[in-house]
Structure 1
Amino acid sequence: MYFYAARQPILDKEKNLYAYELLFRDSIDNVFPEIDGNEATSKMIEASQFNMGISDFTGNKPAFINFTLDTLNKGYPEMLTTEELVVEVLETIKPGKKLLSLCKALFEKGYTLALDDYEHQNVWAHFYPYIKIIKVDWKATTVEEIVQIKKAIASFDHIQLLAEKIETYEEYNQALELGFELFQGFFFAKPEMIKAKNLSPSQMAMAELLYETSKPDLDLAAITSVFERDVSLSYKLLRYANSAMFKRRSEISTIKQALVTLGFAELKRFIGLMFATNANPDKPSELIKSAMVRAKFCETISADAKGNIQSSIAFLTGLMSLIDAILDEELTSVLEKLPLTQEIKDALINKTGALSELLSLVEQLEKANWQSCNELAEGLNLDKANVAKAFNEAMSWTDEQLSMAQ
């Protein structure tokens, strides 16, 4: 059984991954308020214990998970270790003696606690010694209220402020100036600055390879020629082809031999991996992960979707869907420089066709907008269980691929 899950990254001031918030449902149909917080948390714990490990979703980073008063009282947080869990106290819980006792007990056992969607009340001061993180909804909180929160926690140096729903770099910079240390939102998936620039020779070579591998029939001579013009890419290809995961009995020593031995599927994944990890090394790692998750999800689910979508085209479309943020340039400007098929450009720029619907589906999955996911899946004639399976597997595949690149 697969569970619908979204992992929303939490970044630090340097835009490095700090943790993920995990949002679970047992199907796309279970959308708040149709199930309550107790049931949602219970299903999440069940999933983590019997269907998957938390590390399968978080890559061994801590997981922020919502808990109600009832699930705290039942001891559910203690089913997970102190290293893999941040206990997120839901904003719907009223501060009182029972909650304070539970928070103190968890703190003494080594758990990290966070207050979700915090709205300041003086009574919360009793909780501050046991709280590590206070989450503030950026959209719902004024600067004056943030200043009030900062004054209230001024003598508690261990408390960090986390800004939720940060959607632009302007908001990120403003929150940074206000003293926030952690950030949650999709600001990193948008261009940091809009500017025109030329692609480097290596990026152009990668663009050629992306184009060649998007064709139904591979032109081995053309692909070999591109590799032969870029020494760095050739070295990486040979290293990849000879890596221990393939368990080769003999060494691969030529470009052509590597291409033939890897085959189309592995070659496409290698090129996608090289593109994602080398296009802009200064960008947050979560941006690269998002692009790769989208690529793998679109490739996997395309076989079942309406519209006769080629899996290789779907993979490349997902991969290129964040190219504007990766290169910090307007999407239309970037795509003018890349030799991509019109089908891909229509999906990315004009938002038309089945490919565009696939992208919309994975974007809604990322944000845990389950009702929109349901509608899009039905429109693409997709089985909901297959959607969940493809998304879970895309996240696992991405983590595995990036771990091999380190």
Structure 2
Amino acid sequence: MYFYAARQPILDKDKNLFAYELLFRDGLDNVFPNIDGHEATTKLIAGSQFEFNLEDITGTKPAFINFTLETLQKGYASLLAPEQVVVEILETVQPGKRLLALVKELKDAGYTLALDDYIHNPVWRHFYPYIDIIKIDFQALSVEQISKILNDIKDFPAIKFLAEKVETHEQFEIAQQLGFTYFQGYFFSKPEVIQSKSLAPSEITLAELLYETSSAEINLRKITEVFERDVNLSYKLLRYTNSAAFKRRAEISTIKQALVVLGAEELKKFLSVLFTAQVSSNKPIELMSLSLTRARFAELLAQSHGQMKDTAMAFLAGMLSLIDAILDETMESALSKLPLSNEIKNALLNNEGVLAQYLALVKLYEQANWTDAATLIEQLKLDPKEVPDAYHDAVQWANLQLQAVSGVA
């Protein structure tokens, strides 16, 4: 069985990761309304029990999972530990005595409860003592409507509000001012302020190394000399070769040996990961996580597609697809600082070439836009059964890299 699940981050006021919402479909050609909420939740719960570990997708963070009245009645939430899940009651569930009894039961068992796409109705007041989070669609309601909802529920201070579909920093700031605690949307992956940020000397060195490793035949002597001139960079290289992210095969006695053991492909990844980690050091960690996931996902797509000689180019394109947000400037300005190949620049700036198609598929998958994803997969002649596995592999790989980078960044 193949699971087509995307995860979307939920951040707090400081843009720290709070949780992920898991968005599930039964297949790229099987989208709502062909599969109802009951079936989607059932298969997601079954998958987490028998096919994959929930932690592989969400790490140590809880997963927001949608529940219908039927799945709540069948007790599916109890198959997951309270600390693993936020029980998200779908907006299609009508408030009533039956639902209220289920909510009380889950609350007593220690579960965190959320109302999804909240539509204001006085009858929900009976539920407020047991509800932890209320999700409000920032695209569906006006600021005035949202303010009224928050004011009407102010007598229940334990309830936290989550603004979903927050796509710009202006919306994020408005939501903060209104009193929201959590935020869902890709506002964090766009530039906050259009400005010019110069690269630090170490970042320039890394950019030069990225360029040196961009050719098929890398100059090992020249790259070794650069590492040997920078003790900080050498230390990070040695730490990385000894991390869980890379299975070390031999004892290391020289910088050149470390580079040889690492190999050209792993070296390219290491440099692009390290560069992105350094320039995004004051950014939300989820921005780095998303960059890593995109990079690995794009690389796996390129490997499956078989149309690129050097699939590390897809990795770098995926990694740099958020460089505008990392540097808080336009993509054009950000890329002008980097000596990149025209193929990568055309993909990121002009949406041209096969690299651009990989990145388009990556973004569609993030958004759980399965219909358009299926169309693009067919156009690329990719195996639709391999794509979800590639995404899950990319997520797990990104989690492992973040652990490694935290030791070397």
TM-score by length of 1: 0.97
Partner of 2:383: 383
Partner of 2:325: 325
Distance in 2 (alpha carbons) for counterparts of 1:296 and 1:188: 20
Partner of 2:357: 357
SS of equivalent residue, structure 1 residue 61? coil
1:97 and 1:190, CA in 2 relative to 1: closer, same or farther beyond 3 A?
same
Code of the residue aligned with 1:328 in structure 2: it is D
Q: Deviation string for 1:216-270 (max 9, x for gaps)?
A: 1221122223323333211111222244776758642322111011112322232
Distance in 1 (alpha carbons) for counterparts of 2:17 and 2:156: 24
1:16-95 matches, within 5 Å, as 16-95=16-95
Distance in 1 (alpha carbons) for counterparts of 2:165 and 2:278: 28
Distance in 2 (alpha carbons) for counterparts of 1:28 and 1:185: 22
1:13 paired to 2:13: yes
Distance in 1 (alpha carbons) for counterparts of 2:245 and 2:253: 17
Partner of 1:275: 275
Partner of 2:188: 188
Bigger Cα displacement from structure 2, 283-292 vs 193-202: 193-202
1:246 and 1:194, CA in 2 relative to 1: closer, same or farther beyond 3 A?
closer
Distance in 1 (alpha carbons) for counterparts of 2:246 and 2:37: 45
Partner of 1:156: 156
Root-mean-square deviation (Å): 1.5
Q: Deviation string for 1:299-345 (max 9, x for gaps)?
A: 11102326435211111111111111111111101111211000000
SS of equivalent residue, structure 2 residue 263? helix
Code of the residue aligned with 1:308 in structure 2: it is M
Partner of 1:239: 239
1:104 paired to 2:96: no
Distance in 2 (alpha carbons) for counterparts of 1:290 and 1:245: 17
1:297-308 matches, within 5 Å, as 297-305=297-305, 307-308=307-308
Residue-pair matches, total:
406
Code of the residue aligned with 2:217 in structure 1: it is D
Whether the 8 Å CA contact 2:241–2:247 is kept in 1: the answer is no
1:49 and 1:314, CA in 2 relative to 1: closer, same or farther beyond 3 A?
same
Structure 2 unmatched ranges of 5 or more: none
Tell me the CA shift for residue 212 of structure 1: 2.3
SS of equivalent residue, structure 1 residue 24? strand
Partner of 2:293: 293
Q: Deviation string for 1:370-399 (max 9, x for gaps)?
A: 101101111111111111111110000000
1:177 and 1:395, CA in 2 relative to 1: closer, same or farther beyond 3 A?
same
1:253 paired to 2:253: yes
SS of equivalent residue, structure 1 residue 302? helix
1:264 paired to 2:264: yes
Structure 1 unmatched ranges of 5 or more: none
SS of equivalent residue, structure 2 residue 41? helix
Partner of 1:337: 337
Partner of 1:132: 132
Tell me the CA shift for residue 26 of structure 1: 2.4
Code of the residue aligned with 1:281 in structure 2: it is S
